[in-house]
């Protein structure tokens, strides 16, 4: 067996062999600690019958550990320069398929139907590029792809926002969206020293377990998310201020917004960060007939 891809020595050898240079614009930071990668994979609870989706495999360090733990791995890589490297580093693992696609444009459900024919249990396991962490997570959740959950590494600051509670400075519309679809847990902090090149901040691994049902009932999901985003548009402003400025014709409908807030017993002078997901659901349901 060859040495793990993720050792500092082997990583350097691979990069030198192919004359690879990191692209800052693609948020490329490769992990160079096999033990951390094994730990990340262990949080996904994969079996020999499972499948895994990876985003941004780089030179294949995490892909290799996934291939050792499950039956099928499909990885999306946007950087064409990495395709010949991955073909080389992962040649021992026929169960790995690399797709040269941007995950944000991919039809993931179709990809899953094609590649995970036998796998009923599929997890997303990835070291997400920092600059597109939120759009990737929101796409995966909105597309309702049939996976058990996600074990994903991201900037620690973003990880803190996913599991944030009302009333904290980290709590925002992203917290609500994530908690609507999943149960988030921060399972591990990863120091910046185990990456090449070293980023400026520490990372965290978050496990997101899909909920069978959202924790609240909403009349219109899209409108619910519009209301939450609008409520946090300017954090220092009151709920009433954000809603009248952010919703279509909000200023004209100010009295109706006030009546809706009153009907669900929410003080218009409160700020978005103080509302629980239940209160946001009640508020969106009360506003829905006014704006739809």
| Residue 31, marked binder | yes
CATH number attached to the domain at 221-291: 1.10.8.100
The first and second tokens of residue 28, run together, are: 């490329």
**pLDDT tens-place string over residues 112-122:** 999 999 889 99
| Residue 58, marked binder | no
Percent of the chain with pLDDT over 90: 89
pTM of the model: 0.93
| Residue 127, marked binder | yes
Closest CA to 99 of 123, 73, 118, 122: 73
For the beta carbon of residue 113, count every other beta carbon within 10 angstroms.
11
210, 181 Cβ separation under 8 angstroms: yes
Percent of the chain with pLDDT over 70: 98
The domain spans of the chain are: 8-210, 221-291
Asked if the model's pLDDT at residue 25 lies above 60, the reply is yes
| Residue 29, marked binder | yes
Asked if the model's pLDDT at residue 22 lies above 90, the reply is no
Tokens 């006030």, located at residue: 258
Average pLDDT, the chain: 94
End-to-end C-alpha distance for the chain, whole angstroms: 61
The span from the CA of 26 to the CA of 99, in Å, is 17
Question: What residues contact 6, with CB distance under 8 A and at least 6 apart?
Answer: 30, 31, 32, 33, 34, 37, 61, 62, 64, 65
**pLDDT tens-place string over residues 53-65:** 999 999 999 999 9
The span from the CA of 40 to the CA of 165, in Å, is 25
Q: Could you say which of 3.40.50.720, 3.20.20.140, 3.40.50.150, 3.40.50.10860 is the CATH number of the domain covering 8-210?
A: 3.40.50.150
- Specify the pLDDT at position 197: 87
**Distance set, CA 164 to CA 25, 138, 159, 161, 274 (Å):** 28, 17, 9, 5, 12
The span from the CA of 154 to the CA of 128, in Å, is 6
The span from the CA of 103 to the CA of 98, in Å, is 12
């Amino acid at each position: 067996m060859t040495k793990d891809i993720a050792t500092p020595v082997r990583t350097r050898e691979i990069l030198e062999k192919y004359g690879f240079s990191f692209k800052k614009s693609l948020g490329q930071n490769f992990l160079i600690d096999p033990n951390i990668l094994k730990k990340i994979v262990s949080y996904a609870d994969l079996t020999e019958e499972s499948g895994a989706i990876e985003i941004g495999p780089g030179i294949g360090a995490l892909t290799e550990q996934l291939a050792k733990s499950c039956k099928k791995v499909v990885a999306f890589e946007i950087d064409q320069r990495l395709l010949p490297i991955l073909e080389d580093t992962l040649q021992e693992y026929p169960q790995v398929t690399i797709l040269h696609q941007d995950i944000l444009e991919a039809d993931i459900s179709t990809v899953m139907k094609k590649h995970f024919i036998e796998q009923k249990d599929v997890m997303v396991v990835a070291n997400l590029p920092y600059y597109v962490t939120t759009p990737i997570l929101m796409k995966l959740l909105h597309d309702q792809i049939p996976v058990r959950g996600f074990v994903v590494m991201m900037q620690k600051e973003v990880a803190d926002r996913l599991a944030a509670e009302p009333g904290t400075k980290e709590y925002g519309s992203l917290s609500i969206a994530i908690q609507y679809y999943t149960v988030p847990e921060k399972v591990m902090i990863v120091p910046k020293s185990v990456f090449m090149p070293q980023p400026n901040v520490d990372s965290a691994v978050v496990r997101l377990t899909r909920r069978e049902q959202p924790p609240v009932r909403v009349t219109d999901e899209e409108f619910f998310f519009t209301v939450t985003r609008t409520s946090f548009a300017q954090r220092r402003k009151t709920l009433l201020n954000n809603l009248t400025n952010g919703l279509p014709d909000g200023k004209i409908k100010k009295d109706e917004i006030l009546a809706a807030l009153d009907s669900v017993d929410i003080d218009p002078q409160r700020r978005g960060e103080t509302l629980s997901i239940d209160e946001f659901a009640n508020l969106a349901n009360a506003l829905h007939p006014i704006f739809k």
